[in-house]
Amino acid sequence: MGTAWPGLPMEREADDWYGFRLPDAAMHFVLNDAHGRQTGDLQREREGWYGTDLRWYDRKPAAAATTRPEGGGNSPTGRPVSVPIISPAPIGERADFRRETIYFLITTRFYDGDPSNNFFCRDRITFNPKTGQAEDPHWRGDFKGLIQRLDYIKDLGFTAIWITPPVENRSGLDYHGYHAYDWTKIDPRLESPGATYQDLIDAAHARDIKIIQDVVINHSCQFGIRGKVHIDHLPVKYYVPQGAAQGRVNHGPYQGNLGNYAWPNRDDIDNPLAPSWYRERQQRDPEGVEPLVDPKSGETVPKPGYNPGRFFGVDAHTLDPEWYHQEGFICGGDWESAHPLQQKHLAGDCIDLATERQNVKDYLIGAINRYLDMGVDALRIDTVKHVERDNLLEYVNAWKTHKPGLFVFGENLVKGYGWGDLGGGDNGPSQIRPWWYTRLSHDPHNPDAGGDSGFPQLDFGLFSTFRDTVSKGTYGGTGQILGMDWIYGDVTQLVTFLQNHDVGPDNDFKYRFKGEQWMAAAAYNLIWTARGIPCLYYGEEIEFMKGAPQDVEGEKDTLDQTGRAYFGDHLTDERLAETQNHPIYRHIRRLNQIRHAIPALQRARMSQVAEWGSGMSFVRDLPSEGSYAVVGLAIGGDQHVTVDGVRPGTYRDAVTGSAIHVSGSTLSFHVKGNSAGIYVLDGPGKIGEDGLYLR
């Protein structure tokens, strides 16, 4: 015979025992409480009693003989017992960053606490189709808003927040922070009275949340660095688009001309190293109508359609070699070759710094040291492959020397496995791949030739498998990537993710995850139980902007149409409860609770990895803390998981509370579709509340 879950009811007998007579002694069966908690596969060839200590008895034992230890997941009567949620330890006790989980957000797109510091960039302004008025300022979220919603992030279970670069920026579209102009100052469009950067750090620490600062050292904006180096331009306020007339420009708040509308002088920069004629114009003519002779061409502006490059472009060959490389811009095949990647300019608003020069090192290292002194807990380094590894490690190690124990990780974007010269169809050399930066090896074919560099990376290798696995509802092939974990210096420090602000996990990498909700849930089950430090991109917890391009794509795209849309509408007092009730929000919160309670999920390597498309299993063993977990994952339908070679003892599932005693070396258990089995040796039992997926 066979029955669908939850099966046939048992009859209640005396002393809180339940009974059922099997029609065939050779049958396999499980015992469950109809709430998702059940035993492993059982078989009995004669009459017997199965106690809550997970043992068979030939005679009915006394109740005390079968009572489980306190906190064992099931009560002596078989009723569920929930394990209290344990709060993360104070920051000072969490020296190992692998204990954290990370919430990544674009500060200006998260939550607006102070509308008075909002700012429209010059490019990609959103206009209301009915009124024609500009709306959705690019610089919209701020530190005040983030402080107001720290408890939201804490409730979601994250212990670290990665913010986009907060230093002062300059460009036509600089809301994201990656076009630095002055590393020594925080951009005033982020701060408010009582909500400075220091206030944010202090408020986060008061909630035992760490702050990760995003740092760019590869490039500056196209205007140079305030007080250090100037790049030749004409003032933007003298630019007149073709077909327009100065004083008649009508572009949202940029009325009259395209100079900075929020500054009285309508200019973009205030660099004291600009030539005298430029600085003199900063003090007058805000309308940009007084004739100015271009020193380079002798032509007079304003002049409709005059060479835009004189206002916005860069001539690489005229840059100051004390600060910049001069080999032009990356193009074509340059993207898979180390020298051009590391010597040419990334884009017109990302001008490649001469990072090997001592003056550049002194400036950037000194500037970031100041933020470390303010209390910044960790650093994320942008555009890693655009800086030669040993050169970049000079910066990383300097910051670590300044703040011992500092966690620093990097972003080395690769749309593939990233194995470099080790094979796997990679068309780029090891010297620009993530593993290279985690090692000290100088042999592109042998990672083991050098030890751990202490500079882990975002795990783009695992991320890249998601286009062919979870985006299609399968784990098939994921084990191949995990089998290459040996190439990294310390694979347990990689930062794992499903989405970020540049790419999504689907086949074209352009869009926010557009698969089914259950696929995302199954992906998070893997990310939160596999090696590495999980990271969630803002809005993922409610499938925010699902299927939208991660960044502006078409010529007329604006931020509200992309994955960088403003999230704050979902965080208002009126909508907060709705947001927090989303199935994925609850799913992520519970995953954070489980990971926090099980040291092996935080810091152990993976072993005994097996995957079969609809399921995966692996072991996480952390002997130093006596934490041992066997994980089984199911994507799509239910799965029966069997793992051999495990330690004997009693295992309790953090998801269902089910307990299984292993007397030999094989653990078998059932996992519901898109859920997980996390069987912990001598574990606490069920952690958190069942949701749509973890159950």
Q: What angle do CA 607, 86, 83 make, to 5 degrees?
A: 80
Residue 693 within a domain: no
pLDDT over 80 (residue 683): yes
Query: What confidence score (pLDDT) does residue 508 get?
Result: 86
Query: Residues 385, 397: contact at Cβ < 8 Å?
Result: no
Helix, strand, coil share (%) of the chain residues, nearest 5: 25, 20, 50
Give exposure, 226-238, as e/b (b: 16+ Cβ within 10 Å): bebbbbbbbbbbb
DSSP state of 322: T
Spatial neighbors of 623 by CB under 8 A, at least 6 apart, are none
Question: What is residue 372's three-state secondary structure?
Answer: helix
CB atoms closer than 10 angstroms to residue 486: 10
Tell me which residue of 392, 527, 395, 537 sits closest to 459, measured CA to CA. 527
Residue 432 within a domain: yes
Residue 24 within a domain: no
The two beta strands, 676-681 and 649-653, are: antiparallel
Asked whether the CA dihedral 103, 518, 605, 448 is positive or negative, the reply is: negative
* Mean pLDDT, residues 293-299 taken together: 96
* Mean pLDDT, residues 268-291 taken together: 92
What tens digit of pLDDT does each residue of 99-119 get? 999 999 999 999 999 999 999
In terms of DSSP H, where are the helices of 136-235? 143-148, 150-156, 197-206
Query: What confidence score (pLDDT) does residue 73 get?
Result: 35
84 band by pLDDT with thresholds 50, 70 and 90: low
Q: Which amino acid is at 117?
A: N
Mean pLDDT, all residues of the chain: 92
527 and 610 in a common domain? no
Q: What is the dihedral of CA 248, 250, 251, 253, to 10 degrees?
A: 90
CA distance 633 to 638: 9
Tell me which residue of 681, 634, 620 sits closest to 653, measured CA to CA. 681
What tens digit of pLDDT does each residue of 139-188 get? 999 999 999 999 999 999 999 999 999 999 999 999 999 999 999 999 99
What tens digit of pLDDT does each residue of 208-240 get? 999 999 999 999 999 999 999 999 999 999 999
Token pair belonging to 550: 């991660």
Residue 446 within a domain: yes
What tens digit of pLDDT does each residue of 379-392 get? 999 999 999 999 99
Query: What confidence score (pLDDT) does residue 55 get?
Result: 60
Query: What confidence score (pLDDT) does residue 35 get?
Result: 46
DSSP state of 374: H
0.95 exceeded by the pTM? no
What tens digit of pLDDT does each residue of 494-550 get? 999 999 999 999 888 999 999 999 999 999 999 999 999 999 999 999 999 999 999
Q: What percent of the chain has pLDDT above 90?
A: 82
Query: What confidence score (pLDDT) does residue 75 get?
Result: 31
What tens digit of pLDDT does each residue of 397-422 get? 999 999 999 999 999 999 889 999 99
15 band by pLDDT with thresholds 50, 70 and 90: low
Between the alpha carbon of residue 376 and those of residues 87, 144, 641, the distances in Å are: 22, 17, 43
Domain of residue 627: give its range: 604-681
Give exposure, 252-269, as e/b (b: 16+ Cβ within 10 Å): bebebbbbbbeeebbbbb
608 and 520 in a common domain? no
CA distance 269 to 224: 9
* Mean pLDDT, residues 431-458 taken together: 97
Query: What confidence score (pLDDT) does residue 42 get?
Result: 64
- The number of domains in the chain is 3
**Maximum CA extent, the chain:** 105
Higher pLDDT, 370 or 3: 370
pLDDT over 80 (residue 56): no
The whole-angstrom distance between residue 383's C-alpha and the CA centroid of its chain comes to: 15
Phi, psi of 535 (to 5 degrees): -135, 130
7 band by pLDDT with thresholds 50, 70 and 90: confident
Tell me which residue of 461, 466, 559 sits closest to 509, measured CA to CA. 466
Q: List residues bridging with 226 in a β-sheet.
A: none
616 and 511 in a common domain? no
Asked whether the CA dihedral 568, 572, 576, 579 is positive or negative, the reply is: negative
Spatial neighbors of 608 by CB under 8 A, at least 6 apart, are 617, 618, 619, 643, 644, 645
Residue 343 within a domain: no
Question: What is residue 410's three-state secondary structure?
Answer: strand
Residue 269 within a domain: yes
CA distance 341 to 355: 13
DSSP per-residue string spanning 606-648: EEEEEE-SSEEEEEEEEGGGTEEEEEEEESSS-EEEEEESPPP
* Mean pLDDT, residues 355-368 taken together: 98
pLDDT over 80 (residue 244): yes
What tens digit of pLDDT does each residue of 563-602 get? 999 999 999 999 999 999 999 999 999 999 999 999 999 9
**Domain end (from 297, 313, 329):** 313
Higher pLDDT, 16 or 300: 300
Element housing 596 (H / E): helix 583-597
Token pair belonging to 606: 């993976």
Phi, psi of 110 (to 5 degrees): -95, -65
CB atoms closer than 10 angstroms to residue 316: 16
Q: By CB neighbour count within 10 A (0-12 exposed, 13-18 middle, 19+ buried), where does 183 fall?
A: buried
Query: Residues 355, 387: contact at Cβ < 8 Å?
Result: yes
**Domain end (from 505, 531, 557):** 531
622 and 525 in a common domain? no
CA distance 503 to 473: 19
**Domain end (from 313, 347, 376):** 313
Question: The CATH number of the domain where 622 resides is what?
Answer: 2.60.40.1180
Number of Cα atoms under 13 Å in the Cβ half of residue 406: 28
Query: What confidence score (pLDDT) does residue 2 get?
Result: 66
Query: Residues 622, 606: contact at Cβ < 8 Å?
Result: no
Query: Residues 544, 578: contact at Cβ < 8 Å?
Result: no
On the question of a cis peptide bond just before residue 291, with omega within 30 degrees of 0, the verdict is no
Residue 17 within a domain: no
CA distance 349 to 314: 9
pLDDT over 90 (residue 205): yes
By residue count, the chain amounts to 695
* Mean pLDDT, residues 4-24 taken together: 73
DSSP per-residue string spanning 492-524: GGPEEES--SS--SSTTS-BS--S-HHHHHHHH
Phi, psi of 139 (to 5 degrees): -85, 95
Residue 569 within a domain: no
